[in-house]
């Protein structure tokens, strides 16, 4: 069965033959292994070229900032999966990564696209404050959350975001995307009527976009970072398991409620 276009049967990432492996035009064994740092290799794999020193600094900083954040739902899913199947590291890692959605970690992509849309509107000659204000008013009218702003714990400001934005300033990375994010953070409290500081899921896409990272690959940043954090949790889980402790605590914390008339339940059928 032919589905989709059939005229793009090419890849520019890697090839191999009986004597060599080539990655983005470089011989893997003679030019890359032992001669390139992983963040540089990450850029080479995704973008096709190695990063500048400033791009490397920002990428390292973002990966460190988001790699670990305690027993969040995705980590709990991974640890409980390993507790139930100690030989299934791949399954546990998958469980953790699959739990990175629009609320936790995966929100960087949403915030990135939100900022990109505003930057593109401003590129047409519109005033950045006007565009940001109208975007926030539209979000308020729909009762939606502002991508990249607000934090349930760090209401006075996400310290990770503050450090990332300061680094971007120091290394000359901050550009139009950081400018838009800061304008949103300036206007949002008065429009939304509550504190909305920049969070790490807003800072990461803003600084990475200004560093030259494509928005279509933005989700890869938190995915790569959290994979490292999950390895740490799974190793600890294999040495000192808390998966079933978490499961037991959840069972104790959640009350059972009898549904006297469940919607759509018409009782047992008779024959």
Confirm whether 58 is domain-assigned. no
Confirm whether 47 is domain-assigned. no
What's the start-to-end Cα distance of the chain, in Å? Answer: 45
65-75 tens-digit pLDDT: 999 988 988 99
Lowest mean pLDDT among 41-55, 91-105, 165-179: 91-105
Confirm whether 95 is domain-assigned. no
Which domain CATH number covers 114?
A: 1.10.230.10
Confirm whether 45 is domain-assigned. no
Closest alpha carbon to 183 in 140, 222, 146: 146
140: three-class secondary structure by DSSP: helix
Strands (E), the chain: 14-16, 21-23, 26-27
Confirm whether 136 is domain-assigned. yes
Q: How does the average pLDDT of the chain come out, rounded?
A: 92
Confirm whether 62 is domain-assigned. no
Predicted confidence band of residue 8 (pLDDT cuts 50, 70, 90): confident
Phi, psi of 134 (to 5 degrees): -65, -35
**pTM for this entry:** 0.89
The half-sphere exposure of 250 on its side-chain side, counting CA atoms within 13 A, is: 10
CA distance 167 to 251: 43
Total tally of structural domains belonging to the chain: 1
Structural domain of residue 172, as residue ranges? 107-217
């Amino acid at each position: 069965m032919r589905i989709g276009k059939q005229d793009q049967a090419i890849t520019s990432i890697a090839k191999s033959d009986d004597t060599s492996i080539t990655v983005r035009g470089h011989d893997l064994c003679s030019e890359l292994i032992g001669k390139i740092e992983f963040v540089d290799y990450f850029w080479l794999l995704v973008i096709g070229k190695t990063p500048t020193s400033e791009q490397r600094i920002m990428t390292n900083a973002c990966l460190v900032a988001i790699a670990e954040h305690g027993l969040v739902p995705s980590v709990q899913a991974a640890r409980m999966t390993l507790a139930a199947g100690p030989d299934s590291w791949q399954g546990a890692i998958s469980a953790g990564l699959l739990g990175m959605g629009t609320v936790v970690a995966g929100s960087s992509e949403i915030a990135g696209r939100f900022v990109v849309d505003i930057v593109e509107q401003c590129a047409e000659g519109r005033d950045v404050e006007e565009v940001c204000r109208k975007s926030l008013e539209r979000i308020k009218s729909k009762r939606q959350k502002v991508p990249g702003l607000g934090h349930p714990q760090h209401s006075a400001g996400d310290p990770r975001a503050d450090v990332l934005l300061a680094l971007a300033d120091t290394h000359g990375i901050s550009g139009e995307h950081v400018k838009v994010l800061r304008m949103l953070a300036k206007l949002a409290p008065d429009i939304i009527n509550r504190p909305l500081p920049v969070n790490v899921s807003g800072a990461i896409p803003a600084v990475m976009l200004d560093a030259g990272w494509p928005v279509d690959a933005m989700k890869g940043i938190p995915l790569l970072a959290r994979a490292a954090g999950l390895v740490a949790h799974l190793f600890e889980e294999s040495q000192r398991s808390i998966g079933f402790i978490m499961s037991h605590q959840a069972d104790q914390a959640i009350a059972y409620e009898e549904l006297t008339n469940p919607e759509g339940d018409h009782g047992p059928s008779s024959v």
